[in-house]
Each structure stands twice: as C-alpha cells, then as structure tokens.
C-alpha cells in the first residue's frame, strides 16, 4: 500500500449508549505510536441520545475525527455508515468498549504491509480486576481470554466461530467488494460470522495478530448477557437461513450435544415457555439471584445461557415457518417438541 497525504487508515467505531467508553477509546487513540496524520477515526452513533454525539463533536484530537449519527439500525448498519464515510485504504473496526494499546494502529498497518487479500483479528483480552463482577471474573473473562490463547497458537487453524470483528482490519476495497456487512442483522450477534463467511469465499485469508492489541472493558451484567444470547440464537437461524452450509459450524447444529438430563430439562423449559412466555425471564432472574450467593459457579452461567440461546433460536424458527422461508426446523430441536 502506497502512502500519500491523506490518512492511510480509517478506524470505524460503532456505538450505542456508551458515552464514557467512547471517551476512553478516543483518548487511547491519541497515544498511538503511528503519527496521528496517518489515521482518521469515525464514530457512528447508532440512534443513542446519551450525549455521545456531543462528546465526539467537542472532542479535540490530534487525528481527524468524525461523528455520524443514524437512527437505530444495529451494528451492521452502523459499520456500513462508517464504511461509506471512510477515506483510508485500510479499515480498522473497533468496538466501543475497547481501549487500544499504544502500538495498536501500527500493528494492524504492519500486518497488511506485505499481504494482499487479508483480514486481521487483533487481540482483545478482557480486563479482569478485583472489582469486576463474578460474571466477568469467573466466566466471561476466562472463557474469552482462553479463546485468544488458542488463536495465538502457531498450529491453530481458524474456523468460522473463531471470528470476531470487534478488533478487525481489512482493506476498504475488499470490504466494499463483498458488500460490507449484511444489514438484515439488526439485533445482537452473528453479523461478523456472516461477513467472515463471505470474506473467505471471496479469497480473503483471515489471520490473528496478538500485537494489534486493544483491551476490552466488559461491562454487561447477566441480564444483558442473557438478552444478547437470546438474540444470538435468533441471528444464528438468520445466518443458517442465508448460508445453509454454515449450519454444521454453528451452535445450532449441537442441540443433541448436551447431556441427556440437561436435554430433558431444557426441552421441558422450552415447551413451558411456549405457553408462558415469561419463563425465560424467570430462569434468568433465578440465575442472577444466585450470583452473590454462589459466585464463580460457571456451570450455572453456561446452562442458563445455553437455554437462552435455544429460546432465541426456536423463536426465529417459528417466525420462519410463519413466513414460509428460511431455515424452519432442526432435527435436534424437534426432539423437544
């Protein structure tokens, strides 16, 4: 990639109701080892009215900074807005809860110097502190950080579910070529896996770069995580409906993978939820109530979230059946009916 007087790199940050996180991220981007004139930052505010738009407008940065507001349309639509506004040859997608290390931008740039069609996932370890809630310290943090350790192994081959785009770089021309993100993904989850699938089909090699480091400040509580997991089940059905060949690589294909007792209990709770829609809320509330009484019981988190995932998946399958299109049933899930 040749250098010119305009920024070589565009950093796109989609955000929703995270004003303080955006401030932290923008401050960290002031401390980069790469000269500030080499990159621009585009913050896309996805419908939030929490002061983020005003913060970006008033923020004084050494780099070019642009704020864009759009009606709430989801992360995919927000990133596409940033893509249309970007001028850099290289795009870096960055979630709003990230705090980039000093060498973050330079590492992404260097990773693409000798490569052609390449997509680079940077490291995004979750910060673990004594003040963090049990959900983060005992479940979310260790689980994701162990995932990063696997990605860093020289012998690890990336698969579909390894991918994330919260710290990801790709050439702007390549992302435009594949059509950007699919804006049908309006709620949480799987818009990045869908993009990964299309990038791979277009001949883009995906890689992991531990040096492209941005620390992740995970702030969601258990209720928010449960809502995201229900949405993730819904969007997994959307992904498999659009690309049926991805189904074997998704959690959707693993309904029978759980233990027999859990399958029986989970199936009973799914059936019960069809008659009493508040059942998932009660399940999540019970798990949350137990959190201070028995912190660190990761099995409780895992089972509750597994149930939430299938609540979302089943809702999406029912909607597909009503619409007469897309993925309408799963052999494993049919065992619970």
Q: Which two tokens stand for residue 75?
A: 């992360």
DSSP alpha helix (H) spans, the chain? 19-29, 52-58, 75-85, 104-113, 134-135, 141-152, 172-177, 191-201, 222-242, 260-275, 279-290, 298-323
pLDDT of residue 6: 65
Q: Which two tokens stand for residue 322?
A: 């009503």
Contact 75, 166 (CB under 8 A): no
Whole-model pTM over 0.75 = yes
Contact 208, 121 (CB under 8 A): yes
Of 110, 140, 114, give the one whose Cα is nearest residue 127: 140
pLDDT of residue 180: 97
State the angle between helix axes of 298-323 and 222-242 in degrees (0 to 180), rounded to the nearest 10. 40
Per-residue pLDDT tens over the stretch 142-190? 899 999 999 999 999 999 999 999 999 999 999 999 999 999 999 999 9
Beta bridge partners of 68: 44
Q: Which two tokens stand for residue 51?
A: 């002061």
> pLDDT confidence of 264, banded at 50, 70, 90?
very high
Of 229, 226, 232, give the one whose Cα is nearest residue 288: 226
Q: Which two tokens stand for residue 281?
A: 């809320």
Contact 107, 9 (CB under 8 A): no
Distance CA 294, CA 154 (A): 38
Distance CA 5, CA 190 (A): 37
Beta bridge partners of 40: 10, 64
Q: Which two tokens stand for residue 73?
A: 């349309």
Q: CATH fold of 9-216, please?
A: Spore Coat Polysaccharide Biosynthesis Protein SpsA; Chain A (3.90.550)
Per-residue pLDDT tens over the stretch 307-336? 999 999 999 999 999 999 888 887 545 443
Distance CA 152, CA 210 (A): 7
Cα dist from 254 to 29, 137, 235, 309, whole Å: 40, 27, 16, 12
SS3 labels along 22-54? HHHHHHHHCCCCCCHHHEEEEEEEECCCCCHHH
Beta bridge partners of 122: 209
Over range 20-47, report the average pLDDT.
Answer: 97
Gap between the terminal Cα atoms of the chain: 56
Q: Which two tokens stand for residue 36?
A: 């500030």
**Greater confidence, 328 or 241?**
241
Distance CA 220, CA 231 (A): 15
pLDDT at 337 over 90: no
DSSP assignment letter at 161 = G
Per-residue pLDDT tens over the stretch 105-150? 999 999 998 767 999 999 999 998 777 777 787 788 889 999 999 9
Q: Where are the domains of the chain?
A: 9-216, 222-336
């Amino acid at each position: 990639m040749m250098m010119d007087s305009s920024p070589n790199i565009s950093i796109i940050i989609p955000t929703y109701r995270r004003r303080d996180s955006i401030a932290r991220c923008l401050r960290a981007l002031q401390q980069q080892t790469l000269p500030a004139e080499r990159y621009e930052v585009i913050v896309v505010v996805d419908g939030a009215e929490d002061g983020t738009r005003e913060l970006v407008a008033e923020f004084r940065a050494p780099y070019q900074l642009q704020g864009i507001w759009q009606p709430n349309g989801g992360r995919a639509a927000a990133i596409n807005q940033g893509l249309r506004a970007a001028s850099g040859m290289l795009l870096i997608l960055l979630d709003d809860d990230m705090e980039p290390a000093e060498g973050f931008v330079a590492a992404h740039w260097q990773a693409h110097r000798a490569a052609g069609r390449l997509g680079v996932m940077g490291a995004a370890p979750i910060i673990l502190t004594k003040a963090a809630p049990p959900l983060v310290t005992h479940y979310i943090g260790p689980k994701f950080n162990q995932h990063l350790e696997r990605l860093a192994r020289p012998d690890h081959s990336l698969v579909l579910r390894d991918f994330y785009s919260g710290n990801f770089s790709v050439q702007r021309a390549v992302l435009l070529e594949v059509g950007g993100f699919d804006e049908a993904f309006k709620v949480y989850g799987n818009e990045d896996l869908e993009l990964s699938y299309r990038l791979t089909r277009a001949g883009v090699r995906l890689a992991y770069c531990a040096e492209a480091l941005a620390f992740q400040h995970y702030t969601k509580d258990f209720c928010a995580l449960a809502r995201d997991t229900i949405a993730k089940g819904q969007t997994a059905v959307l992904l498999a409906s659009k690309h049926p060949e991805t189904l074997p690589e998704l959690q959707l294909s693993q309904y029978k993978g759980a233990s027999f007792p859990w399958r029986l209990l989970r199936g009973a709770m799914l059936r019960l939820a069809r008659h009493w829609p508040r059942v998932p809320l009660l399940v999540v509330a019970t798990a949350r109530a137990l959190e201070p009484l028995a912190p660190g019981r990761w099995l409780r988190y895992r089972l509750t979230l597994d149930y939430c995932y299938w609540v979302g998946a089943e809702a999406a399958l029912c909607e597909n059946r009503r619409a007469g299109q897309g993925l309408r049933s799963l052999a494993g899930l049919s065992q619970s009916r």
